[in-house]
Structures are given as structure tokens and as C-alpha cells.
Structure 1
Amino acid sequence: MTEYSAFKVELTEHVVHVQIDRPEKANAMDAAFWSEIVDIFQWIDDTDAIRAVVISGAGKHFSAGIDLALLASVASQLGQDVGRNARQLRRTILRMQASFNAVDQCRKPVLAAIHGQCIGGAIDLVAACDMRYCSSDAQFSIKEIDMGMAADVGTLQRLPRIVGDGVLRELAYTGRRVQADEALRIGLVNRVYADPEALLVEVLDIARQIAAKSPIAVAGTKAMLSYMRDHRIDDGLDYIATWNAAMLQSEDLRIAMAAHLGKQRPTFRD
């Protein structure tokens, strides 16, 4: 398996654990992070043996967001011409957006296990995941407003569908900290666990439960849910009819029904 400088990646059976691995920097997102995460999720998407993904952070925190050294490096490359600066900044922002688009568009379910700080760019990352879980020590903040900028890598586009428009506006305008109990109440996370150790154990177990299902059915379910973010109900119904016209012919349906009738656990091919 490929070695990464910003991540540790471990595949166990059908679940891959992607851990941000810069604990000495509170898992701040440096230049390597943004390119490596694209490569990792391309590999995940291309590897049929992988059926679910868990993202976590090493050390005391999930992630403190974008590394300030990276921002300083981007700023140092700007010149005197506003037009050329704007073109360069736009290309940089689009490349960073593509990093989290790779997470969002992954065909496999992605679960975030969040502990400690989840700040700034880390919010963009977890918003691109299918589900979010946290430990009781977790703290969330859309910190960009305190840096004099609007969040530009996905938070403002994805979170309204997760926590609701009004709640997001308050958090984005104020940058205030959200503790684990409030995160659960507003729907930012699915569940809160007592500590980071219990969090990781339970989230990996949920991922294994997903991985035990038909990969054809899981992929179709994710595709339909993602499609419905931007389409009408009748469009979605038409799409699932076309999708299942093919997918219901999979052997997985027969295997699942036979296992159910025989009160056995089904086993599906990759």
C-alpha cells in the first residue's frame, strides 16, 4: 500500500481507515494533504474490495483546519496585478475544492469519526462525508469568518443540507464553538460517544455493518441519495426506476433473499 506523508491508510477486510496523521500539528492540512486525499479516494473508488471508509485524526484532535503555513505560501506567490492574482487564487481554490469533492463523490459510504477540534477546513471535510460521529470532547467551528474570509471549500454549500440554513448562518457569521451535545442536537453528528477510543470502535463497527451489505445495493443507495440533493422527486423516481431496471438483475438480490429466508448471514462478492 502507498505511503503518505499526511495520512495513514489501513485496509482491514472491506473497511478502509483513513487517518489524518500530523498529530504534532493538530492534523493541520498542509500542501501534501490536499493532493494525497485525492489519490487516496481515487484508489478507494477503484478498489472493489473496499466497501466503506472511516476518516479520523491521529493524536488529540481531528483537525485544526488549513495549515497557516500553506496560506502564507499562497499569499507569498501573489504579485501586484489584481487580475493575475485573482486567476491564481481561483485555480488554487478550485484545486482545494476538488480534494473534498473526491470525498463527496466517492461511491463508497464515508464515515467521519471526530474528536477534539474540528475547525475551519476540517468542517469542509466532514461535510463531504456521508455520516459524522463524535466523542464528547469534540468542538466544531467555522473559523474562516475570524480569518477575514468566507469559507470556500464546501462548508457553505453542503452544511445547509445537514444542519439547516438558519443554524448554518449563525455558525458561519459568528464562528462560535459548537460542543458535542449541540452538534448532536442540530444534526451535525449522528451520535456522541464517551471518548475517542469508544468513538473509533463504534464507527468502525458501523462501517463493517455497511460493508456486510450488498455492495451493489449500497452503491445504488448512495447514488440515489446524492442525486436527490439537486433534483426533484419525480426526477429521482425516474432515475431509480432506470437504475434498478439493471441492478435488480444482480445476483445479490437472490443471495440476500435466500439468506433472509434461511435466517443466515449473506455473503456478497466484491
Structure 2
Amino acid sequence: MSQYQAFSVELTDNIAHVQINRPEKINAMNAAFWTEIIEIFQWVEDTDAVRVVVLSGAGKHFSSGIDLMMLASVANEFGKDVGRNARLLRRKILQLQASFNAVDQCRKPVLAAIQGYCLGGAIDLISACDMRYAADDAQFSIKEIDIGMAADVGTLQRLPRIIGDGMLRELAYTGRTFGAEEALRIGLVNRTWSDAAGLLDGVLGIAREIAAKSPIAVAGTKQMISYMRDHSINDGLEYVATWNAAMLQSADLRVAMAAHMSKQKPEFAD
């Protein structure tokens, strides 16, 4: 596994622990972050031994969002022509979007463990995850409005399906900070723990539970849920019928049925 500037990555018991590793910079998302996260999730896709991903931040905070120094470097590339500047900015934004699309489109479940600050671009990131969990000290904010821009890396597109349209509008228009208790109440996070250590232990426990299931069944379940964001119920039923016409022939089904009948724990191939 490659060494990364912005991340540390460990694979244990079929769980890839992907940790943003810039604690001295409050895990701000620098230039290396945006390219490395694509590389990491391509590795996740290509590695059958990885069944679940846990995404966390090193130190006291999950992430303070996009590194402002990186934004300044983009501004330094501007010339005098408005059209060319717009084309440059659009290309940069699409590149950043691709980084979090890699998380969203990963065929394996991605669980976010959030402590401390989760601000701006960090909200975009956790919106691309399957599930989100928080420590009691977590602080969330869709911060882009306070620097005079609309969030453009996925928050405004993904969060309405997670917390609802009205609540997203309030948080995006005001940029206010809210804590773990409210995040739990509005459905942004699934569960909370009292501290960061308990949070990580708890999320890894959920990840182990998922990793013990059939990887074929987990991947199919994620694919069906993701498909339904943009399709009708009838489309989804047609798709799952076609999908399972192949997947129900997997050995995993026989393994699971035999284990259930004998009250044994099933062991699935990667």
C-alpha cells in the first residue's frame, strides 16, 4: 500500500481504516488530499479483501474542510479574461467533485466516524458516505455561505436525501454550527458516543458486523439503495430482478443458508 501525504490507511480483518492525517492543520483538505482520496478508493474497489471502509480524522477533529491555502493557489492562476477564468474554475470544481464521487460510488459501505470539527468541505465528504456516526463533541457547519459561496462539492445535492429539504436549507442559508445531539435528531448521524475513543471502537464494531456478511449481498444491497436515488420504484424493482438473476447463483447464498440451518457462523470468500 502506498504512503500518503494526507491520509493513513490500514487494512485489518477486511476493514480499511482510512484516516485523514493532518491533525496539525485540523485535517484541512490540501491539494494532496483531493488526489489521494481517489487513489485510495480505487484501491478499495480493486482489493477484494476490503469489505468495509471506516473513514475518520486523526487528532481532536474530523476535518475543518478545504485548506484555504489551496483556494488561494487557484486564485493565483487567474488571468485577465473572465471566460478563461470561468473555464479554469469549472474544471477545478469538477475535479474536486470527482474526489467525493469516488467515495459515493464505492461499491463497499463507507462509515464516517466524526469527532470535533466537521466543517465546510467535510460536510460534503460525509454526505458521500453510507452512514455517519459522531462523538458528543462533534460540531457541524455548512460553512461555505460565510465565505460568500454556495457549497459545490456535494452537500447541496446529497444532503436533501439524508436530512430533508427544509432542514438542509436552514443549515445552508445560515451556516450555523450545530452539535451531535441535533445531528442525531435530524438524521445526519445514526448514533453518537460520548468520546472519540468510544466512537471509533463502536464504528469499527459495526464495520466488523457488516464485513462478516456476504460481500456479494452487501454490494448488491448498496447498489440497489444508491440506484433508487434517481429512479422510480418500478425501475428499482426491474433492476433488482435483473441483478439477482445473476447474484442469487452465488455460492454465498448456499453458504448463508447452510449456516442458518445449522446455527453456525458463515464464512464467505472475499
Write the distance in 2 (CA, Å) between the matches of 1:45 and 1:158: 22
Write the distance in 2 (CA, Å) between the matches of 1:182 and 1:88: 38
SS in 2 for 1:189: coil
Whether 1:96 and 2:104 are equivalent positions in the alignment is no
Whether 1:58 and 2:81 are equivalent positions in the alignment is no
Amino acid at match of 2:139: Q
The match for 1:189 is: 189
Q: How do 1:149-160 residues align onto structure 2 when only pairs under 5 Å count? A: 149-160=149-160
The match for 1:76 is: 76
**1:81-128 Cα deviation digits (max 9, x unpaired):** 100000000000000000000000000000000000000000000000
Write the distance in 2 (CA, Å) between the matches of 1:178 and 1:3: 35
Segments of 4+ moved more than 4 angstroms: none
Shift of 1:151: 0.1
Amino acid at match of 1:83: G
The match for 2:3 is: 3
SS in 1 for 2:159: helix
Amino acid at match of 1:74: V
SS in 2 for 1:244: helix
SS in 2 for 1:153: coil
Amino acid at match of 1:246: A
The match for 1:47 is: 47
Q: How do 1:173-252 residues align onto structure 2 when only pairs under 5 Å count? A: 173-252=173-252
**1:28-60 Cα deviation digits (max 9, x unpaired):** 000000000000000001111100000000011
Q: How do 1:1-40 residues align onto structure 2 when only pairs under 5 Å count? A: 1-40=1-40
Amino acid at match of 2:20: I
**1:110-169 Cα deviation digits (max 9, x unpaired):** 000000000000000000000000000000000000000000000000000000000000
The match for 1:171 is: 171
The match for 1:138 is: 138
Percent identical pairs in the alignment equals 75
Write the distance in 1 (CA, Å) between the matches of 2:256 and 2:124: 36
Write the distance in 2 (CA, Å) between the matches of 1:129 and 1:202: 17
Q: Size of the alignment, in residue pairs? A: 270
Shift of 1:178: 1.0
SS in 2 for 1:192: strand
Q: Which runs of 5+ in 2 are unaligned?
A: none
SS in 2 for 1:162: helix
**1:44-79 Cα deviation digits (max 9, x unpaired):** 011111000000000110000000000000011111
**1:206-263 Cα deviation digits (max 9, x unpaired):** 0011000000000000000000000000000000000000000001001001000100
Write the distance in 2 (CA, Å) between the matches of 1:153 and 1:249: 39
**1:4-26 Cα deviation digits (max 9, x unpaired):** 00000000020000000000000
Write the distance in 2 (CA, Å) between the matches of 1:72 and 1:247: 49
Write the distance in 1 (CA, Å) between the matches of 2:160 and 2:42: 27
Amino acid at match of 1:191: R
Amino acid at match of 1:99: S
Q: What TM-score, normalized by structure 2, do the two folds share?
A: 1.00
SS in 1 for 2:134: strand
The match for 1:111 is: 111
Write the distance in 2 (CA, Å) between the matches of 1:211 and 1:2: 23
Q: What TM-score, normalized by structure 1, do the two folds share?
A: 1.00
